[in-house]
Structure 1
Amino acid sequence: MSKHLSMDVRVPIEEGNPAIRRIESLCIKCGQCRDVCQKQISVGHHYDLLKTGDTAICIHCGQCANVCPTGAITEIQDWMQVQSVIQDSSKTVIAITSPSVRVSLGEEFGMQPGSYVEKQMVGSLRALGFDYVFDTTFAADLTIMEEASELIERIQTKQPLPQFTSCCPAWVKFAETYYPELLPNISTSKSPISMFAPTVKTWFAEKESLDADDIYVVAITPCTAKKFEIMREELSDAANYLDRKPGQDCDRVVTTRELASWMRACNLDLESVEESDYDSLMPRGSGAGIIFGNTGGVMEAAIRSAYYFLTKKQPQEDLLQLQAVRGLEGVKTAELTIQELPLKVAVVHGTDHARKFLHHIKESGEHFDFVEVMTCPGGCISGGGQTKHIGEDMDTVRKARIQSLYDKDSTITLRNSHDNPHIQQVYEEFYGKPLSDLAEALLHTNYEARNDLQEDPSRYEAMYQADAPVQEPVKEQAADVRYRCTICGYIYEGDITKESDDYKCPICTVPKDMFEKVEDASAQEPVKEQAADVRYRCTICGYIYEGDIAKESDDYKCPICTVPKDMFEKV
């Protein structure tokens, strides 16, 4: 008997998912979450709940949230916790911002897709109370220094090829789950966020005479999977280096949508906020770091620096605009030669395309040296925490965001990661050189096989040969007894009275006495009640208030995200 309901139209989501959640009261069972998980992400129909102990497999990409028309699926809201930490004067709270956020945040405030709002974004973060604001493109350059060096070393020492990129945490978990045999091929270089955080808590902390234990790093990202990534046990290298108690390198992740919600809750308007620049010690990255947000961007950035490392010459224009790896085709390939060294590369976005590509190279034996994989369509610019455009042509939106990042790259003087003077400084003063012992300790990582699916993976390979549909999990009958949370609509399967007194709703955390028994327990779906004559929706999290919220006291707060009642709108 599965605890997951409506599997014929919904993607299952575990209660403890660190990246996304479902608000049951908002779900209209439209089937869009299930479709995107199956057709673009290639996870939803590639396992059987009967063989995973009824545990849903999720790579945390958040594409289900991006297509959810009602906001029933949304990212875990972390901004309120960050806000409370900012109010603690003993903490130094640092924001690091990914390139894709600056080309989508404006859309939350009515601007055109792709509007480049870097200075307004930085100004908003300062207004929210951050002590420092840094550009994650700085760490993207750091990633390229390590990853390009690693690629050259692999080729020269005959290590496993192709080298796969590791910047996308959803792709990494996808590989860990379905292709653990490829883990030796995945670059050990961390993602930019996971390089930046330990650098902040070691090198930066020492330069600024700060205690690393008092530093709180918040990544502002387009990506819901980063919420999972920062919780990986192996990403606590700063604490290990400093011989401190175990702790995450990066403390919290706030998505683009969360940042917009936070700004609205604080009555900040992006167009009127005072503009600001990044802090000076690690002010920005190169153009190569900026295009990390696009599919093909990591590949292009790495090729620029690999060319320099091998030839000691700056890359020419054809490498500064490597057209063969640009665009929205699911799989793009290119062949180039660097100082008589032939390189065959591929760029893949969408893990369904990745699955087909991996099947192809396995069956054909076609050789590649370097492969970039991003889970989200178009790359990070379409991450699971980006601004949603329900009912619009998303490729048009993606192209606008992509072009905005390329335009910025083409108009700045600093185009290459290896030319960034701030990167050169951090190597001279701290890391020494790429792939040094210290760089390996703080900037590289390892991966974990998660292939406990208890089934034959060849079942799925056959699908790409014959396009045969995969058998769906057996639909289970609902439990005999069910209880519904009266606040958020979460359904508890079984007798909740047997839970301990400290049991709380996994969605909105209210105690068990806020649950009511669902009388028609034999039905597959919860009984739908008649809507009240008046309803209000929270503009931040989507919670529905049944009745006239104006009659509530002035200190009423949303039970989900705690914003005041004036943040509700009449439905």
Structure 2
Amino acid sequence: MRNSKVEIMGEPAVRINGKDLIGKTGQSILELALANGIEIPNLCYDARLSPSGSCRLCVVDVEGQEGPVCACTLQIQPGMVVRTETEEIRAIRKTILELLFYEHRGVCTTCDENGNCKLQQYAYEYQLSDDVFERGAGEGEEQRENYTTGNEALEYDPDKCIRCGRCVRICEEVQADSALTFKGRAASVEVTTAFDIPLNDSTCELCGQCISSCPTGALYERAAKGKGQCKDLVRTRTTCPYCGVGCQIDLNVNPETKRIVRVTSEVGCIPNNGNLCVKGRFGMDFIASDKRLTEPLIKRNGKFEKAT
């Protein structure tokens, strides 16, 4: 959680869907709900970041409040009564999802994030019409051009972007880099760098943190493109071998090729909390290198020979 130093309230202070819960001072409704296994749909929320409320999908009904409120930005108060699944709330969320899909022009069946995309998951859960999954650019609509990052590590597809701002915020709040920003207004908003310069010429460290926070696959690893969809990959947790920090990483392996497609890390894992450096995220190619030793060697007369 973002708030590490909190005071435990003495008695159940909040009731969510009829369940009395013990909260923490400064905790949001969304944080309390997720900590107690109550799922509230969200797209712009990342536990590593400050809340923004930009996607509006986490709206809930709070007794005494006028209209729906964002669960990620409203802090809990003693005696608060919250309902997360009323008919009105679900109808609002469905409308929001339809609007998001109007801007999200990706095709789920050919997307590498297929099976690991919250937007896709919520579209199924809220029974959006089938055509939203295969929408693409509609008739008379201009397909947005991909932003050229100028590097081999990551790429940005604006057609999949929902403007949640997570990539911009994680770059600023976690990496303290601020390499990414927004340009344009309203429906024309896009993620870019200052003055639209190539990412290689900006302050970007190519750590891939923006990829780790993106909920829709708008930011993705170029090397992983077409190597396997998330739903088909097998994850194996291990410890990053590069330094002594002990970051926990998940090797996402294509079971058919037996090759690592990408490296990810789960938010909440100790000690790195889902954060990885450029080596930990992009530096695992050596595992499949044909230059790795396959048998013990011994050096004789200045040359390596088989030990046995």
> Given the two structures, how large is their TM-score scaled by the length of structure 2?
0.34
Q: Which structure has greater helix proportion?
A: 1
Answer with 1 or 2: which has the greater Rg: 1
Higher relative contact order (Cα pairs below 8 Å, separated by 6+ residues): 1
